[in-house]
Copies of this chain bind each other. A is one copy, B any other.
Amino acid sequence: MTRELSALQKARLSYQPKLPKVLKNGIRGLSVEFGGPTESVADADDIKEIFPNSYGKPIATFKTGSTDISNEPVNVGVILSGGQAPGGHNVIAGIFDSLKNANQNNRLYGFLGGPSGIINGKYQEITADFLAEYRNTGGFDIIGSGRTKLETEDQFKDTWNNCQNLNISAIVVIGGDDSNTNAAMLAEYFLSKNTGIKVIGVPKTIDGDLKNEQIEISFGFDTATKTYSELIGNIERDANSAKKYWHFIKLMGRSASHVTIECALQTHPNITLISEEVAINKTSLAEVVNYMTDIIVKRSHEGKNFGVAVIPEGLIEFIPEMKSMISNLNDTLALIEDDADYVKLCNQEDKFKYIESKLEKQNAEIFASLPKSIQAQLLADRDPHGNVQVSKIETEKLLIEMIQAKLVEMKAAGEYKGKFAAQPHFFGYEGRCAAPSNFDADYCYSLGYNAFALAHFGLSGYISSVRNLTKPADEWIAGGVPLTMMMNMEKRHGALKPVIQKALVELDGPVFEYLKKNREKWALEDHYIFTGPIQYYGPPEIADVTTKTIQLERT
């Protein structure tokens, strides 16, 4: 079936992504320069022991030059791993154009549905025609993605078999920190078996938590945060026009608050919560509520019964006392489920009281402080093991209800005379598959083009690295960083494992500093910024500039 396309879709298909100058010469015009041996960010001995064949490799940087590397036809495999991020299709387009540039007879195979595709040998050859309708588009629908972890010996064996069947000599893994950790393990496995199969990783995730000295940002972060900022700005303008509502906007990002802080820097909301700050300060839920209520009350004194608050999805999980209450609650529920005294209670309130009586004092207080609706939700939404699912808690609504309750008290006490009406929002799916901004389209295409180049030069266990991103694409630096360099040992399910270190928001970094310096002003005065929708045309400062986060971190 021929698919109907919007005018913009048609136009974007023919967009030619920008490449770093060095890659414009094509594969034959490249030479590679190596730095000295590298060390892992921590736990060097353990990492070295686990990665005897791939540890400590030097950083590689491409230069204009020429190479006498054999140009025999090769086949390359690619997989998309984990959640969608804008630009994934362009990484594949970059790999394709790069390998065809090296040799028209080179072939690219896309494994279907993520890592399980390479384990089960489910694939589809990516041809020029097939690829044509995916260039510069959002989504991962070209070959699909999946969350299977590629980590066991058996999986590696199957992967090896399937590569042999297709005569594949290089695999590109497009994924987040875990997927790249697995890529490193697969690379080590292939080296240990002298398979000659290279493994290259590509940094993907809208969460922006896969970055470090060498990786300035993961792809998709730019487009996703610009899409959310468009919406936040529109809502700010609405709040400032209607002057009637407080909008509580939860933003995707469970394990780090990069998305929330980037959007805050782009739109200047009245309240910005950052999970990492809450965790470090051991902030209690009551303190979070007080902080927000204080701003709401101060604004109401100036006749402003409206505002905008942005909240990271993972907030609750970063509040220490909530963690402890939840685990205590899980144990307690397991105990009293068959307790006749509990079961016979017909009234929910009585159930809550009974549970409180069984919880440790401090946890009982926290539980009691929660709105009834959330208490009910905690008892209702249990996972198959009967555990409360903290991730199911609708943080934005929890905060609204607790603030509401507090304001009622304050009104009774004559400390508050304002009106409080709130609208909850959650933005996540709206941005994960947006068509990539020019920046992500260019960056992803370059990462893919560069990924094949690394494999072509025989490198394995590297992540594709394109740097100097605050400059025009022409000046970007292309090369590779050994995956082991980004690793350390962390506890996972009780056992120490080698993993790529997640980048959390640094509370002493320039991005958080900027928020800290301005948030009081943004809270009371209105400094809303309306970024508007992503523009693909127009002057570079509108169409090509990337995030505030990179600009603050890299300039």
Chain A residues in the interface with B (C-beta under 8 A)? 1, 3-9, 11-12, 83-84, 137-141, 144-145, 227, 230-231, 233-235, 237-238, 240-243, 245, 247, 266, 268, 346-348, 423, 425, 429-435, 525, 527, 529-539, 541-543, 545
Residues of B within 8 A of A83 (CB): 242
Chain B residues positioned under 8 Å from A431 (CB to CB): 234
Query: Would you give the shortest CB distance from A335 to chain B, in whole angstroms?
Result: 24
- Chain A facing B: main interface SS: loop
Name the contact of A139 in the complex, choosing from B241, B266, B536 (C-beta under 8 A): B241
Contacts of A247 in B (CB 8 A): 429
Chain B residues near A140 (CB-CB < 8 A):
241-242
Chain B CB within 10 A, most for which of A240, A266, A430: A430
- Taking a contact as CB atoms closer than 8 A, the residue among B3, B138, B532 that contacts A237 in the complex is B138
Taken together as a complex, chains A and B put the C-alpha atoms of A431 and B4 apart, in Å, by: 25
B241 touches A234 (CB 8 A): no
Residues of chain B within 8 A of A268, CB atoms compared: 4
The docked-state distance in angstroms from the alpha carbon of A117 to that of B222 is 43
- Bound CA–CA A343/B300 (angstroms): 38
The residue on B at minimum CB distance from A245 is B429
A5 CB contacts on chain B under 8 angstroms: 529
* Distance (whole angstroms) from the CB of A450 to the closest CB of chain B: 24
Count of identical protomers in the assembly: 2
CB-based nearest B residue for A347? B346
- Residues of chain B within 8 A (CB-CB) of A233 are 6
Closest 7 interchain pairs by CB? A533-B533, A537-B537, A537-B538, A237-B433, A139-B237, A238-B433, A8-B532
A531–B5 Cα distance when bound, in Å, is: 8
**Listed A/B pairs (16) with beta-carbon separation below 8 Å:** A6-B532, A9-B531, A137-B237, A139-B241, A144-B241, A227-B234, A227-B533, A234-B434, A237-B433, A247-B429, A533-B533, A533-B534, A533-B535, A535-B536, A535-B537, A537-B543
Q: Is the CB of B84 within 8 A of A238?
A: yes
CB distance from A524 to the nearest CB of B (A): 12
Residue of B nearest to A349 (CB): B346
Question: Could you list 12 further interchain pairs (A-B, Cβ under 8 angstroms) beyond the known A9-B532, A145-B241, A535-B537?
Answer: A6-B266, A6-B531, A6-B532, A7-B541, A8-B532, A9-B531, A141-B237, A227-B533, A234-B434, A435-B532, A533-B535, A535-B536
- Contact status B234-A433, CB under 8 Å: yes
Find out whether the CB atom of A527 lies under 8 angstroms from the CB atom of B3. yes
Q: Are B238 and A532 in contact (CB under 8 A)?
A: no
Residues on B with C-beta less than 8 A from A245 are 429
Chain B nearest CB, measured from A359 CB (Å): 23
Q: How far is the CA of A139 from the CA of B529 in the complex (A)?
A: 13
Shortest C-beta distance, A344 to chain B (Å), equals 12
